[in-house]
Structures are given as C-alpha cells and as structure tokens.
C-alpha cells in the first residue's frame, strides 16, 4: 500500500525547494519583535472551566475525505467559528492536497485583528524548513504543526527552535509511543494524537485513549481527527484530552455553533 504521507512530504520538499534560503534564529527573532504579538495558542486550549478546547479547522478537501467544502471562503468560515466560541482555528495552507492557501491564513488573522476577539490560528501544513515558520509568523499565525512521524530529530529541533524564536507555539503530532517519547525529549508543550493514521487514512479514537494517559502532566493534550459527535468528544475528554481538533464535521455542519456546544456539553 502506498504511504500517502511519504508522497505528501516528497511533494512538500519539492514545493518549498524554490523558496529555500538560510533562515537564522536571529532573523526569526527580529521578525517576531517587529510584528504585533499573536494571541497565545497554548493558553487558549486549557479552559478555566475544564471544558474541552475546540480547535476548529478550515479544510476544503483532503486525500481521505475528498471534497468537503470546496467553495467556502476562509473568512466566512472563520467568522462562523469565532461566533461559535472556537478556542482556536486550524487553517490548512497546503494547496495540492487540501485546497488551502497561505492567503487563507493571512486573510483570517487580518479579519480577526479588525474584528476581535482574535482567535489564535494554527498554520496546518507539512513543515519541512524554517522558511515556512517565517511565512506562518508573517501571515499572523500563533502556532505551527510538527508531524513527528515525517521528520528526523534534527529537522524537528530546527523547526521547534525556529518556532520558538519566531514567538510561535508548536503542536507536535504523534500516533504511537515512540513518537510520544521523541516529542517529550524535544520538550514539546502541546502534543496531539492524530486518530487518523496518515499512511492509510483510518481513524480510531482508541489511539487517543491509549496514548493520552501516558502524556507528562504538564503537556497540553489534543485529540485530532475523526471526532464527529458529542459522544466522540466525551470519549477523548474522559482519557484526558484538554482540546480536540475537528475539521470535517465542522466544515460540513450547517450549524457549527451547535456542534461546538455539543462537544463541550460534558
Ligand atoms: O477532519 P477531521 O477528521 O476532523 O480531522 C481534522 C484534523 O485532525 C486533520 O485534518 C489533520 C490532522 N493532522 C493533519 C496533518 C495534515 C493535514 C491534516 C491533518
């Protein structure tokens, strides 16, 4: 069976190749100091009332689901999520596989600056080089994604250091014990279990149930993918998730506010 993640990563390295130049930590720190501070992604995920944080994703299509909401404007969906009380947004910026753009992220963060509250945004993409971290910061993101399975330890360190220098949080995405150990060794503060195996596209909430109880106490735990109902949310909350990351269900819902309320009902 072909591994989709390997295919995506190969494409991503090709896509980014034309942009490549050295991006130093110093350049990222200077950029960070020159821009207004983005709202904290990490802080938004731990709710004082103990309810689940909901990271609401803007995703037009995906290799696993096909077309989800191809025509939707990122800003329209962002306003719905903001009104619904989403804790944070996840904005897909990969074009080839997910139909998103960096402009989606830029326009959403710009809109939130004009129309508060500014909900923190994750740049959801396949990060391979600090230039993408720089782009994320310039586009107003609060956090980047680090897919542990797809990266060497050297690449993870480079990306995490780049994010930190740029004033961004990093969501470490894992799907097994070895990746959890690697994330902890790198000092990850936010770790998400992807319930979807990106190689074969099956989702299993049991993965969150097996891995989240093993997280160190001070780590913010996120359960990602395959969450559709209040019962799904209750299941991952029961095993210790602070937040969930939901794409398809919210993109397809005629009433995202009601669905987010359902996720938080328990
Ligand atoms: O649409 P879902 O099943 O609610 O999943 C959302 C999110 O977890 C998923 O889009 C995702 C998780 N990790 C990723 C990495 C890249 C792209 C997409 C993803």
> What is the ipTM for the molecules in this complex?
0.98
Whole-structure pTM value:
0.95
Which of 11-25, 95-109, 128-142, 238-252 is the least confident region?
11-25
pLDDT tens string 60-85: 999 989 999 999 999 999 999 999 99
Cβ–Cβ < 8 Å for 40, 170: no
User: In the predicted model, what is the mean pLDDT of residues 138-159?
Assistant: 97
Residue 62 placed within a domain: yes
Residue bearing the CA closest to ligand 1, atom 7: 225
Residue 28 placed within a domain: no
CA gap 54, 263 in Å, rounded: 8
Domain of residue 82, residue span:
4-17+38-263
The yes-or-no verdict on residue 156 having pLDDT over 70 is yes
Residue 131 placed within a domain: yes
Residue 186 placed within a domain: yes
User: In the predicted model, what is the mean pLDDT of residues 115-141?
Assistant: 97
pLDDT value of position 84 = 97
User: In the predicted model, what is the mean pLDDT of residues 156-178?
Assistant: 98
Look at the alpha carbons of 206, 175, 178, 53 in this order and tell me if their dihedral is positive or negative: negative
pLDDT value of position 182 = 98
pLDDT tens string 183-223: 999 999 999 999 998 778 889 999 999 999 999 999 999 99
Specify the number of domains making up the chain: 1
Residue 133 placed within a domain: yes
pLDDT tens string 101-113: 999 999 999 999 9
- Per-residue pLDDT band at 16 (split at 50, 70, 90): confident
Residue 25 placed within a domain: no
Q: Which of 94, 196, 222 to mutate to test the pocket of ligand 1 (most atoms within 8 A of CB)?
A: 196
Residue 26 placed within a domain: no
Mean pLDDT of the chain: 96
Partners of 193 in the β-ladder: 174, 223
- Per-residue pLDDT band at 56 (split at 50, 70, 90): very high
Q: What is the 3-state secondary structure (H, E, C) of the chain?
A: CCCHHHHHHHHHHHHHHCCCCCCCHHHHHHHHHHCCCCCCHHHHHCCCCCCCEEEEEECCEECCCEECCCCCCHHHHHHHHHHCCCCEEEEECCCCCCCCCHHHHHHHHHHHHHCCCCCCEEEECCCCCHHHHHHHHHCCCCEEEEEHHHCCHHHHHHHHHHHHHCCCEEEEEECCHHHHHHHHHCCCCEEEEECECCCCCCECCHHHHHHHHHCCCCCEEEEECCCCCHHHHHHHHHCCCCEEEECHHHHHCCCHHHHHHHHCCC
Residue 33 placed within a domain: no
Whether ligand 1 lies within 6 angstroms of the CB of 209 is answered as no
Whether ligand 1 lies within 6 angstroms of the CB of 224 is answered as yes
Distance 247 CA to ligand 1 centre (A): 6
- 46: domain CATH number is 3.20.20.70
Distance 27 CA to ligand 1 centre (A): 30
pLDDT value of position 2 = 61
Distance 88 CA to ligand 1 centre (A): 14
pLDDT value of position 19 = 82
């Amino acid at each position: 069976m072909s591994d989709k993640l390997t295919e995506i990563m190969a494409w991503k390295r090709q896509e980014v190749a034309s942009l490549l130049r050295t991006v130093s930590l110093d350049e990222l720190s200077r950029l960070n100091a020159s821009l207004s501070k983005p709202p904290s992604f990490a802080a938004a995920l731990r709710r004082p009332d103990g309810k689940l944080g909901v990271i609401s994703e803007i995703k037009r299509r995906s290799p696993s689901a096909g077309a989800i909401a191809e025509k939707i404007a990122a800003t329209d969906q962002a306003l719905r999520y903001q009104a619904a009380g989403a804790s944070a947004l996840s904005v897909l910026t990969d074009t080839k596989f997910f139909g998103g753009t960096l402009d989606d992220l830029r326009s959403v963060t710009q809109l939130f600056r004009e129309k508060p509250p500014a909900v923190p945004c994750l740049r959801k993409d396949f990060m391979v080089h600090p230039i993408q971290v720089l782009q994320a910061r310039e586009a107003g993101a609060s956090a980047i994604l680090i897919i542990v399975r797809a990266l060497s330890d050297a690449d993870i360190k480079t990306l995490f250091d780049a994010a930190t220098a740029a004033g961004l949080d990093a969501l470490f995405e894992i799907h097994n014990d070895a990746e959890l150990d690697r994330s902890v060794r790198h000092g990850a503060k936010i770790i998400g279990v992807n319930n979807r195996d990106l190689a074969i596209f099956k989702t299993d909430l049991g993965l969150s149930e097996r891995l989240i109880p093993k997280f160190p106490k001070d780590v913010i735990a996120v359960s990602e993918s395959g969450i559709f109902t209040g019962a799904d949310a209750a299941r991952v909350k029961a095993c210790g998730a602070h937040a969930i990351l939901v794409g398809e269900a919210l993109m397809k819902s005629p009433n995202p506010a009601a669905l987010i309320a359902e996720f938080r009902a328990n």
